Each structure stands twice: as structure tokens, then as C-alpha cells.
Amino acid sequence: MKSYKNYLKSGIAALLLFMGILSSCNKAPDEIGMIIPPTQSSLSAIGDTLKLSADDSLFYKIIVRGGMLNLLKDKSKAYTLFSPNNAAVRQFVSGASGGLIPPSGAPEAVYVGFINSSLPVANAAAIVQYHILPQAVPAAAIPTTFPNLAYPTFLNPSPSASPLLRLDGYVSRRANGAWLNNIPVIAADRMAGNGVIHSIAAVSVPPSTLLWDRINADADLTYLKAAIQRADSGAAPGTSLQYVLGTQAIAPGLNLTVFAPNNTAFKAALYAQAYPIVYGQLYQGAYALAIAGGSLPADAAIFAANYASANAPGQTTALTSDPVAFFNNPALYPYLPATAVKGILVYHVLFGQRAFTPNIPTTATAVPTLLNSVVPTHPGITLSATFTGPMVTSATVKGIANATASNVLINPLPNGSSDQHYVNGVLHKIDQVLLPQ
């Protein structure tokens, strides 16, 4: 890793940049202020339209439960509602019940009963608010550019902090569909008297935890956690990676995408870096011992090479088996300075962008990372995705110095490995460490 020093001398500067441009991240107050009352329409309002729609009956119950019906019946305003269909709500209820209610097949009264008796009113309101944009956004107005467009929703996660603060919904459109975050739109542009309804394939539960919460608790990300802590050693208050990833006060103003190497990926990368060091040390020790024992230089070289080849694999594996011990081993500090670790880590972060897998281009595309804040001319990482219908079935991310692309480990389910959505960003697990040089 020592070879990365030229690019990574200013790792701390990259973190300072985080704090310097926070004010440019969320523009929710300005956008919310641009609500334009629509011309009165003879069409029914969104709330009344849903009431009459057989496939929206369950989400309608959530709207009523959360006390949001009058808002969606107000024809003096314009809204966009992303409405999960009944199949999506049944899946949601099944998960919320801990599996006690099946995801399909039960009478509708069972799902309605859970919504009316077990879904807290505040939770129902938050879910509905997170599905509402305070302006009419037909499908044609949804952008097709990478990665997506952040629209403020009606959900304010912290009214005491600011009455204008809103969580964003991330909408995008491509040739093969449209999405809210990573959830496919299955029927677009159902026009209503006060806006537009887009039916979606799942309930979009608003995020409530932080990226650091996931990294800190995930047993498959212990190497990433230790690397972050090593990178933060000596960092000034408010400039560390952990501060950016895990501070609630600034989280709603951040849009991050983190490509998180899992433990297997880190072990492989650390082994590749440590093996030459271990081999060299074993070789030198064995060579010196042979010479001291009276061997000729040629014979000592053969002995040392055989000894190092036999013992370096096991010792390197042992050295890299404990992430905390590895990143805090003073003997490795010359080869693994904190700034180098920080520079490698910021190469795994997109700043100001939440890229869900459906937003990844289908042709290999270079995208700048946070490292570009220190090295503006760096080519960044290369992203590519393969779709089956509206779903991403494979995706890759390649570092400039990686021989092959890393795979995004596709599993978008809660606590899965892709499209994991948090208050301050999105996390995707990958199977290689990305190398910037």
C-alpha cells in the first residue's frame, strides 16, 4: 500500500471537503417552497382515486391510519404519490409482523387488521409521507441522468431541528423502467385531480439508521471498520470518516454511496500487500542465519528462498487474520500509513450521489469518487450493470489499478448486501478492494 502515497497524502483534506460543502447537499426547503397550485380538475383527487382502486386498497388503509387522507384529497395543491400495490403492502405487513402473517394468501381483513391495530399511527404517517412528493412529477419529467434526482418528500425526520427539513426520495428513469430509490415503478402516470400516481412494487420504508451503524454492526465488514478506524487515527474532530458516516446531526444533509469491501475482499487485498513484506523478512533472516553457519552465498540464497516460500503463506495468513491487530501493528505503519488507508477508503465513496443499482449504467462508465477532491484528474471508478427487466441481476465496479472488476453482491432485501439505504447514503457490498493506483 505504500505505493499509493503519491495520491493519498492529503486524505485529511478529503474529509475537510465533506464539511465544507454540506450546505450544497439537500435543497429541500427551496424545492418545497415551489409548490404550484394546479388548475382545478374534474378528475378525482389522489385520495379519492385510491379509494376506488381495487389494487390500492391496502395502501389506502395505511393512508387513513396515518391521518394523511385529507392531504391527498386537497385539490388546491399538486402532489406525486408513489403507491405500493396490494401485493407490495402484503409483503410489508408480513415483514412487519415478523412473519406471523403470510406475504400472500390470507384474507384482506387480516392485513387490514394488522394495519389498524399493530401499525403505529406515527409509523403509518411517516411511511405515507415518504411516498409523497410535494409537486406533480409525471414520468416524462423523471431524469435519465446518472445517478438520479433527489426530490424532497413530505417526511420530516426531525421537526425539532428544522420545520423545513425533508428526507429525499431518489427518482430515476431509464430505457427499461423508472424507480423510486431501487423500487420499480410498475404503472406510471395515473392522473388525478391534484397530481399523479405511480404504482410501485414495494413499500419504500424511510431510512432511520446511519451508514456507520451498519458498518459497525456487520460481522462481514469488520475489516472495513478497522480500516476506517486506522484511517481516522490523528484526525481532527469533525473531519474523520467515522464522523461523516455516523453523525446524526449532519446525516440528512449528506448523499453518499459506499462500495463496501467485505471481509473476504479485504483479506485478499491485505494478503497481497503483506506477502512480499513477510517473504522478504523471512528470506533475509534465513539468509543471514545460513551465512553465519558457514554456507556459501549461493547455497544460503537457495536455503533462504526455500524457507521463505514454505513459511511466508502461513505467516501472512496469520498476520492478516485479525483486522484490528493488523491495522494497529506498529511494524506495518511504514507500509500502511493512516493517510494511505484513508485515501484508499475515500476511493470507495461517491459524494453527493446516492447511486442505487438501477442507476448504474449498462455500459461501462467512469465515475469520480471522493478521491477526486484531492486528485481532480484521477479517472475514478468504472461502473456497469446488467438488467433483467427492471431489476439489476449483476453489477460491477472497477478500480483503475484492479486487474478485474469487483462484483456488487446483489441482495437488496433488508440487511442484504446491495441497495442498503440509510439516512446519509447507500451501501453496496463488493468482493474486491478498489485500488486507485
Inter-residue contact 357 to 395 (CB < 8 Å): yes
Q: Say what the pLDDT of residue 26 is.
A: 36
* Rounded distance between C-alpha atoms, residue 341 and residue 343, angstroms: 5
Measured at the CA of 79, the angle between CA 77 and CA 85, to 5 degrees, comes to 140
Q: Identify the three-state secondary structure at position 373.
A: helix
Per-residue DSSP letter, 321: S
Percent of the chain with pLDDT over 90: 83
Question: Over 90: is that where the pLDDT of 373 sits?
Answer: yes
Question: Over 90: is that where the pLDDT of 1 sits?
Answer: no
Inter-residue contact 58 to 107 (CB < 8 Å): no
Give whole-number Cα distances, 28 to 24, 31, 199, 334, 361, in Å: 11, 5, 24, 46, 27
Q: State the DSSP H helix or E strand holding residue 14, giving kind and residue range, or none if neither.
A: helix 11-20
Residue 91: all three cell numbers together = 409483503
Helix H, strand E, coil C: the string for 184-210 is EEEEEEEEECCEEEEEECCCCCCCCCC
223-264 pLDDT, tens digit each: 999 999 999 998 888 889 999 999 998 887 789 999 999 999
Strand 349-351 and strand 195-200: the pairing is unpaired
Beta bridge partners, 151, equal 169
Average pLDDT, the chain: 90
Mean pLDDT of 412-424: 96
Name the burial class of residue 414, with classes exposed (0-12), middle (13-18) and buried (19+) by CB atoms within 10 angstroms of its CB.
Answer: exposed
Full-model pTM: 0.87
Mean pLDDT of 310-338: 94
Mean pLDDT of 381-388: 97
* Rounded distance between C-alpha atoms, residue 51 and residue 61, angstroms: 9
DSSP 153-179: -S--S-TTT-TT---EEEEEEETTEEE
Task: Say which residue the cell 478506524 belongs to.
Answer: 229
* Rounded distance between C-alpha atoms, residue 84 and residue 78, angstroms: 19
pLDDT band at 14 (very low <50, low <70, confident <90, very high): very low
Q: Say what the pLDDT of residue 364 is.
A: 96
* Rounded distance between C-alpha atoms, residue 436 and residue 1, angstroms: 10
pLDDT band at 11 (very low <50, low <70, confident <90, very high): very low
Q: Say what the pLDDT of residue 92 is.
A: 97
Question: Over 80: is that where the pLDDT of 277 sits?
Answer: yes
Q: Say what the pLDDT of residue 40 is.
A: 61
Strand 406-407 and strand 425-430: the pairing is unpaired
* Rounded distance between C-alpha atoms, residue 56 and residue 49, angstroms: 9
Length of the chain: 437
Mean pLDDT of 119-129: 97
DSSP 39-76: PP-SSPPHHHHHHT-GGGHHHHHHHHHTT-HHHHT-TT
Measured at the CA of 180, the angle between CA 175 and CA 185, to 5 degrees, comes to 55
89-117 pLDDT, tens digit each: 999 999 999 999 999 999 999 999 999 99
pLDDT band at 39 (very low <50, low <70, confident <90, very high): low
Give whole-number Cα distances, 335 to 15, 109, 159, 332, 341, in Å: 22, 64, 48, 5, 10
348-378 residues labelled b (16+ CB within 10 A) or e (exposed): bbbbebbbbbbbbbeeeeebbbbbbbbbeeb
Mean pLDDT of 301-313: 98
Q: Say what the pLDDT of residue 291 is.
A: 96
* Rounded distance between C-alpha atoms, residue 65 and residue 72, angstroms: 13
Measured at the CA of 308, the angle between CA 303 and CA 313, to 5 degrees, comes to 150
CATH code at 10-23+209-265+330-430: 2.30.180.10
Q: State the DSSP H helix or E strand holding residue 388, giving kind and residue range, or none if neither.
A: strand 381-388
Per-residue DSSP letter, 240: S
Q: Where are the domains of the chain?
A: 10-23+209-265+330-430, 28-165+168-200, 269-319
Q: Say what the pLDDT of residue 252 is.
A: 79
Specify the CATH architecture of the domain 28-165+168-200: Roll (2.30)
Question: Over 60: is that where the pLDDT of 19 sits?
Answer: no
Task: Say which residue the cell 387522507 belongs to.
Answer: 69
Q: State the DSSP H helix or E strand holding residue 324, giving kind and residue range, or none if neither.
A: helix 323-327
pLDDT band at 164 (very low <50, low <70, confident <90, very high): confident
More confident residue, 29 or 175: 175
Inter-residue contact 356 to 146 (CB < 8 Å): no
User: Do 10-23+209-265+330-430 and 28-165+168-200 agree at the fold level?
Assistant: yes
